[in-house]
Amino acid sequence: MEIRNYHVNDETGWLRCRVLAFLDTSYYDNVLTQKEKYENPAIELVAVENGEIIGLLDIEYEEEERTVCSRGTGLGGMIWHIAIHPDHRRNGIGKLLLEEAEYLAKEKKLNRFEAWTRDDDWVNRWYRKNGFVNVRSYLHVYLEDEIQGKIKSEVPDLFPVHVFAHYVGEDTDTIRECFSRVHECVCYEKMLE
């Protein structure tokens, strides 16, 4: 297996790996049809085995404080995507990608990584095991059948059917009782030594 920089011709393999990796997570419906391009510089890595992309890690990083990350001081990097193909999980690929990213980040004088994820226990355990600390959270709320009487459009003849919302209030128990699909969105931070 090789960890290397992402190349433009990797896009199809990158997309396939990400889709398959996300299918059994709470991000199962967050499907991309093309790889994101970042406004700021980025560390974009892939793990390749036998010509197939089996892991990926994208980190957009700051050249000016607080232009990418939502918290902290100094220059940080935001982990936008980390994914391991399901057939290759639990082989240390995520850790290897992270270690290479940390090495590159230190060369760029970054002092921390920030990452957001949802409430999948195994994903949260991976972040904690790899030195990340939970620094805050809020709720992702999906309104589908519950939308009637809660959301309406001000545009004539336009009726919302599905809504995705952020809840940043304190009454999380009530939100969880009112809506069938609610996820805690957790912010992790890792200081780079």
Q: Please state, in angstroms and rounded to a whole number, the distance separating the CA atoms of residues 115 and 79.
A: 5
Dist. CA 33–CA 16, nearest whole Å: 10
Q: What is the mean pLDDT of each run of 10 residues along the chain (193 residues)?
A: 98 98 95 96 98 98 95 94 97 98 97 97 97 97 88 92 95 95 97 91
- Say what the pLDDT of residue 72 is: 86
pTM of the model: 0.93
Domains of the chain: 2-134 (3.40.630.30), 139-181 (no CATH)
Q: What's at 17, amino acid-wise?
A: C
Q: Report yes or no: 26 and 119 within 8 Å, Cβ to Cβ.
A: yes
Q: Which residues pair with 47 in a beta bridge?
A: 3, 55
pLDDT at 71: 87
φ, ψ for residue 80, nearest 5 deg: -90, -35
Rounded to a whole number, what is the distance in angstroms from the first to the last CA of the chain? 27
For residue 154, what are the CA distances in angstroms to 21, 46, 52? 38, 45, 48
Q: Give the DSSP letter string of 93-162.
A: HHHHHHHHHHHHHHHTT--EEEEEE-S-HHHHHHHHHTT-EEEEEEEEEEESGGGTTT---SSTT-----
CA separation (Å) from 32 to 29, 98, 137?
Answer: 9, 22, 24
